Amino acid sequence: MRENTKFIFEFSMKLLITGGAGFIGSHVVRYFVKKYSNYHIYNLDKLTYAGNLENLREVENLPNYSFIKEDICNRKEILELFEKYKFDGVIHLAAESHVDRSITNPLEFLNTNIFGTVNLLDGARNIWKNNQNEIRRIFHHVSTDEVYGSVLEGSFTEESPIRPNSPYAASKAGADHLVKAYHVTYRLPVLITRSSNNFGPYQYPEKLIPLFIMNAMEN
């Protein structure tokens, strides 16, 4: 009986992916929508300059996909979305992520990357606190290797000290610490990943490789 109950919950899993109209996020959304037809994927994106729904044309009409236009900084709306949809899992990619922009406008990075993350953590905490055993829940926070700072030789490990050198990196490091704190304080099930630089299709042209390619194409 327990096996059947678990299957029902997994079959109706509702997964929230934030920042799903951006470069990395759109790859994640397309992957989950196409691979897991028994999951309903909710893509939440503010659609800033780096978000583009054209990245998701191939899945936008599939029955297990929904798009929600919202800003993770809007606390009231975020908490209401969690109450309404009862998300079973979160993959949190939404972030301000350009180092040069963070130097020009650090406050915007603090608001989105720190306070926006707290809003999502509270949304998950509110709806998971009384029914954590129904399904394997997870809050997956997508961070960056830039929280480790600079390295002249060798490489970082997960045990390396956190030494951010830009407002962007510092805002992501702050979010990492909050995610860990919610795990310890509220027993929220969390996962933090810190990937290095990514490149590929759909990348916004302010990034190094597409910028160079476009400049070369335009002589």
The total number of residues shown for the chain amounts to 219
Active site residues: 145-146, 168
Contact predicate 45/19, CB 8 Å = yes
Q: How many other β-carbons are positioned within 10 Å of the β-carbon of residue 80?
A: 13
Q: Using CA atoms, how far apart are residues 43 and 90, in angstroms rounded to an integer?
A: 10
The backbone region for 55, taken as left when phi is positive above 0, alpha when psi lies in -120 to 50, beta otherwise, is alpha
The SS3 call for residue 213 is helix
Q: Using CA atoms, how far apart are residues 15 and 88, in angstroms rounded to an integer?
A: 6
Q: Using CA atoms, how far apart are residues 61 and 23, in angstroms rounded to an integer?
A: 20
